[in-house]
Amino acid sequence: MNRTCLRTAVAVSLLMGIALVPALSEAAEKVLKLGHVLDTKHPYHLASEFFAKRVAELTKGKVEVQVFPSSQLGNDREQMEGLQLGTQDIAVPNSAVAGRFIKELDIFNLPFLFRDFQHIYKVLDSKFGEDINEAAQKKGYRVLGWWVGGSRSIYARKPITDLASMKGMKIRTLENPLVIDTWRALGLIPTPIPMNEVYPALQQGVVDAGEGSIVTYESMKLDEVAPYFANIQYLNTIIQLLISESLFKSLPAEFQAAILQAGKESVPFERKLNEEAESKVVDVLKKKKRTIVTPEIGPFIAGVQPVMEKHGKSIGLEKIKWVQDYK
């Protein structure tokens, strides 16, 4: 009986050992943390998961990318700092915040710079985008992909119909001097607030309004506390899929190649998701009885001219004109 039990135990152990071999061979050799500030329904999150899946596939499971949504790793600024400090590996920040760390990104924060999505894509996918990536690498960041968010407008707790109706409102803005100057020039009171604090700030009346993409407005449920939306499309959100440059350089060549490839593949995936989301969200909001208006845009463009003049010189007037005219 004892011999039989012993043989059985050995057989079971061998079988277990054989079963464990594939799991051990497929275990990740490197785990990377990717963070962003939006919810799990947002295109940024879905694209982050796509990127993580492709990295795992291309490295045969040797590199695992863990995705942390909804500001779990901090706001955009904190995540940019995390890449510098080595406490975070990959981030998906808005260029308005990333521009504080990579000055060359500030051109994307100029109001009314782009004509449409196709114009944005062409600029980002040109040598212009490559040059910014080279500048970013010198500052400790590498762009793995140029993602694009929706066109940014204004939403409020009370009705807004034109620029005059918005004057004097406290508006939540991105944490960027250029964006702050834009809203100040338009006669509002800009108040930088991290994305994860916007809902309670509106709910409690800390601010009267906010600015952002219509997709984020609906997905973050901001329409519940600010049901009035004015579609001015004053800015287009440029998003960078960024990795710490020092981390990237420390990786084996095969991992680098896989991460670069996954980043490249994530670009058309994210852009398509964003365009589809933006085209559908207006109907969703109308069904929810939200008020959406399209004001006369002329007064807004006229109002931001001092901002263009103030920041144009430091950014480069020729560079701005090149972007505006690029086809």
The answer to whether residue 14 scores a pLDDT higher than 50 is no
Q: What was the pLDDT predicted at 137?
A: 98
CA distance 23 to 318: 56
The pLDDT score that the predictor gives to residue 110 is 97
Q: What is the token pair recorded at 234?
A: 């004053």
**Over 90: is that where the pLDDT of 265 sits?**
yes
Q: Is the pLDDT of residue 18 over 80?
A: no
Q: Are 208 and 158 in contact (CB under 8 A)?
A: yes
Q: Where are the beta strands (DSSP E) in 16-140?
A: 30-35, 63-68, 90-91
Superfamily per CATH, domain 28-318: Bacterial extracellular solute-binding protein, family 7 (3.40.190.170)
Instruction: Answer whether 64's CB lies under 8 Å from 56's CB.
Output: yes
pLDDT at residue 22 above 70? no
How many Å apart are CA 6 and CA 138, to the nearest integer?
Answer: 63
Torsions phi, psi for 272 (to 5 deg): -65, -45
What is the rounded CA–CA span in Å between residue 168 and residue 186? 9
* 34 three-state secondary structure: strand
Identify the residue whose tokens are 């263009």.
Answer: 308
Scan for tokens 């409020």, then name that residue. 156
| Strands in the chain per DSSP E | 30-35, 63-68, 90-91, 141-156, 170-173, 189-192, 209-213, 228-244, 291-293
Percent residues over pLDDT 90 in the chain: 91
pLDDT mean over 18-37: 69
Q: To 5 degrees, how large is the angle CA 237–CA 240–CA 244?
A: 155
Q: Work out the angle at residue 243's Cα, subtended by the Cα atoms of residues 238 and 247, and round it to the nearest 5 degrees.
A: 165
8 pLDDT above the threshold of 60:
no
The C-alpha atoms of residue 171 and residue 207 are separated, in whole angstroms, by 6
Per residue in 205-253, pLDDT (tens digit) is 999 999 999 999 999 999 999 999 999 999 999 999 999 999 999 999 9
- The pLDDT of residue 323: 98
pLDDT band at 27; cut points 50, 70, 90 = confident
pLDDT tens, 284-312?
A: 999 999 999 999 999 999 999 999 999 99
pLDDT tens digit sequence for 163-181: 999 999 999 999 899 999 9
Q: How confident is the model at residue 26 (pLDDT cuts 50, 70, 90)?
A: low
**Rounded CA separation 100/164 (Å):** 31
Of 111, 239, 117, nearest in space to 173 by CA: 111
With vertex at residue 181, the alpha carbon angle to CA 176 and CA 183, rounded to the nearest 5 degrees, is 100
Report the distance separating Cα 148 and Cα 84, nearest Å. 23
Extents of the domains making up the chain: 28-318
pLDDT tens by residue, 97-150 = 999 999 999 999 999 999 999 999 999 999 999 999 999 999 999 999 999 998
Which pLDDT belongs to residue 150? 87
Is pLDDT above 70 for 5? no
pLDDT at 20: 33
